[in-house]
Structure 1
């Protein structure tokens, strides 16, 4: 396991430099999720796939940018890595923070076999969260990665990060979001999963929501690459992750790119979501 984490740390430095030097123009290609790819999406995905497939304990990888699982030469290795190479890449031209999300699965791709996860955030500072027994927060200072300690959510937060196009929300979801603003919650939403969920973790609590909508009845965010890894992080930080009624990490997976509605937050906010959706 440690070799995987070390490889991801090294990869973060290279990707950070790619973001500064590589074209961010759109290509003609569309990934399996229907998103038009940027040149940087493809370049980072290619780099990560080569690095991860060379790790002796990794038998396979799957990426949001690729339709099928890729297998390594290490057929008896135990781990499968699912990752989103550049979450929020459409924010690059606005110079906002984006990230890499990863989940490490033991033997099989399902939530019960997720044994570690985390993300890298490319912002004013290069940071990384690694969740195993705890959600540990690291920052690169130009020469080494410093451990800033474990992230821990409070019982109640102050941030409201609502995803999805508002005109496609259900009335009950709209009423719930408005009720949080009426309580004094602050709107903090960039359109990037990594920076928005990271802010809630660092600030101590709140709610990130991406519900089922009329144009995306199964939600938009992918289970294996985005939702499961963040659910694992949030639970290790004392928070919660549900699809409205069920714990995220109790959900099954039918195919690699399956999506789900999702709500991440501290106890008070997730209790509210359960009341609304149950």
Structure 2
């Protein structure tokens, strides 16, 4: 059992003076991640042979079923919905990815749910988010929440089914030797600067023995979580097949950027602050360079 002096998510939101409707919405989203965590434990027993597309649709339906009845909700955008769903009842708009890294479901790899909250509409620059977060499903379930300019870390207590605050203020280390990138796309990246940066990492490793460690799980949120906690950099450039990259702005790049920047890091498209990008459509994609400020700045120098 956790230390009883550690606050729950609900207690922290109360302590921070979070407005009732926003608190209700955040707790609803957190509760949905607890349901997903439970469903994932025996997913392959209940749904043998089901593919990642089935899992994406299943967990999207689970979230949408509960979320659309929330009185605080005005608009929903999801990776699994072709167009926004508008209720026009409440004050807040939510964008979410129900199961980031869903292909890991075959191999018991880590996965995540990512969400972003705006007032009125999600079609605003990311710096106007009022909260953002993600839950990671691994040997335990963790919730990372950014609100009111800070980043908080929670762990799910399986006995009480409540999120317990374990890190009151997450700060990303400014120096690290962790890099995360899908190097299988190296030859087709649009900007040669990315290749020069990765080549520099490998040359620097040979010449100075300052070891860079490569990490890549196939779940954007999981990889960025490691960077958030340990420092380093995550990169997903545009390439010849996907000129604006693979990651969606509203429910992947923007909420993760909001979290990392509030933890003292930096997030860029390679040419622009991600939090300044104006969304134009629900599934808009952007390249991403995100992580410790020092390392992101180093990468950006290679892109100039």
Provide TM-score, normalisation by structure 2.
Answer: 0.84
- 2:153 alignment counterpart: 137
Cross-structure match for 1:118? 133
For 1:153, which of 172, 182, 194 is the aligned residue?
172
Query: In the superposition, relative to structure 1, how do residues 16 and 67 fare at CA in structure 2: closer, same or farther (>3 Å)?
Result: same
Residue 271 of structure 2 corresponds to: 245
Cα shift at 1:225: 0.9
Deviation of 1:141 (Å): 2.2
Residue 25 of structure 1 deviates from its aligned partner by 4.0
Is 1:3 paired with 2:30?
Answer: no
Deviation of the 1:174 alpha carbon: 1.4
**In structure 2, what is the equivalent of residue 42 of structure 1?**
57
Cα deviation, residue 26, structure 1: 4.9
Deviations for 1:148-176, whole angstroms, at most 9, x for unmatched residues? 12211122212100136223124321120
Unaligned runs of 5+ in 2: 1-21, 206-210
- Runs of 4+ deviating beyond 6 Å: none
Please report how far the alpha carbon of residue 103 of structure 1 lies from its aligned counterpart in structure 2 after TM superposition: 0.2
- Deviation for aligned residue 1:76: 4.3
Cα separation, 1, equivalents of 2:111 and 2:94: 20
Cα deviation code 1:186-236 (max 9, x no counterpart): 001111101101111122x10000011111111110000100000000011
> Which structure's CA Rg is the greater one?
2
SS at match of 2:196: helix
Report the equivalent of 2:114.
101
**Structure 1 residues 24 and 78 mapped into 2: Cα distance closer, same or farther (>3 Å)?**
farther
Aligned counterpart, 2:220 = 193
Q: 1:42, CA displacement in angstroms?
A: 0.9
Partners of 1:24 and 1:40 within 8 A in 2: no
Of structures 1 and 2, the one with the larger relative CO (CA 8 A, separation 6+) is 2
Classify the secondary structure of the residue corresponding to 2:286: coil
- Matched residue, 1:32: none
Matched, 1:216 2:231: no
Q: Structure 1 residues 13-22 or 211-220, which shifts more?
A: 13-22
Structure 1 unaligned segments of length 5 or more: list them: 28-36
Q: Return the alpha-carbon distance in structure 2 between the equivalents of residues 196 and 16 of structure 1.
A: 19
* CA offsets 1:59-118 (integer angstroms, 9 cap, x no match): 11110011011122xx24211100000000011111110000000011122124311101
**In structure 1, what is the Cα distance between the partners aligned to 2:146 and 2:48?**
30
SS of equivalent to 1:67: coil
Structure 2 Cα separation of the partners of residues 113 and 106 of structure 1:
8
Aligned to 1:266: 292
Contact 1:196-1:208 at 8 Å conserved across structures: yes
Distance 1:148 1:65 in 2: 32
RMSD: 1.5
Aligned match of 2:92:
79
Which residue is equivalent to 1:167?
187
Hey, what does 1:15 align to over in structure 2? 36
Asked if 1 retains the 8 angstrom alpha-carbon contact of 2:196 and 2:302, the reply is no
